[in-house]
Structures are given as C-alpha cells and as structure tokens.
Structure 1
Amino acid sequence: MDIKKIFGAILTLAGIGGLIYTAILYGNNSENTRAMIIYGVLGALFFFSGIGLIKNTSKKAS
C-alpha cells in the first residue's frame, strides 16, 4: 500500500472519530457549544481531506 493512502485512511478514521464525538456531545445536550463546533469542524476537515487524499492518489503499475 502507498504511504499516501495509509495517511489518507488515518485522516479519514480520525475525522469519523471527531464527527462521532460531536454527535455524542450533541446527543447529551452539552452546554459546551464551542467544543462541539471545534470537534465538528476538525472532524469534517480530517474526514474530507482523508477521502480526497485516498481518491486522488494514483495507482502505480506493477
């Protein structure tokens, strides 16, 4: 596997984790909206950058 795809997968998983944590905070009616915004934005940023990195990495011919 290419190192870019591995890093893309790590970023995607970190983004999913951030988005899930944001959903948990939202579900618990958390009073800390700043934390929800920060985790949500960072989760979305990591998720979409990881997906883009995986998608745009070209396959090498063996």
Structure 2
Amino acid sequence: MNVKRVFGTVLTILGIIALIYTGYELINKSTAYTTFIVVGIIGLIFFFSGIGLVKNTKDES
C-alpha cells in the first residue's frame, strides 16, 4: 500500500467535505462569510493537492 496514494485520498475526501460544508452554509444564507471563504479555500487546496498526489504517484509492487 502506497502512503502517498492513501494520503492523497484522505486529502481529497477532506477537501470534498469542506467544499460541501461551505456550499451548504452559503445556501442557508449564514452570516459568517469570512469563515466560509477560509474553509472553502482550504477545501480547494486540499482537494487539488490530493488529486495531484493520487494522479502523480506511480504504483510499485
């Protein structure tokens, strides 16, 4: 089992959760917009870095 691939998967899942949370709170018209902006940006960073790790890691058996 490749550690980079597992870490990339975890980052991708965390990014998806953060983006869903941000979207849910924005739809509910909550008032703490700065918090959602920060969570959304961190979610995007996690998502794209996780996808990059999974995509660029070679399988070595």
What TM-score, normalized to structure 1?
A: 0.93
- How do residues 37-48 of structure 1 correspond to structure 2 at under 5 angstroms? 37-48=37-48
Residues 6-28 of structure 1, C-alpha deviations (whole Å, 9 max, x = no match)? 00000000000000000011011
Distance 1:27 1:52 in 2: 29
**Corresponding residue of 1:36:** 36
User: How far apart are 1:59 and its partner, in Å?
Assistant: 1.8
Unaligned runs of 5+ residues in structure 2 are none
User: What amino acid is the match of 2:32?
Assistant: N
Q: Percent identity?
A: 48
Over aligned residue pairs, what C-alpha RMSD do you find? 0.7
Unaligned runs of 5+ residues in structure 1 are none
Q: How many residues align?
A: 61
What TM-score, normalized to structure 2?
A: 0.94
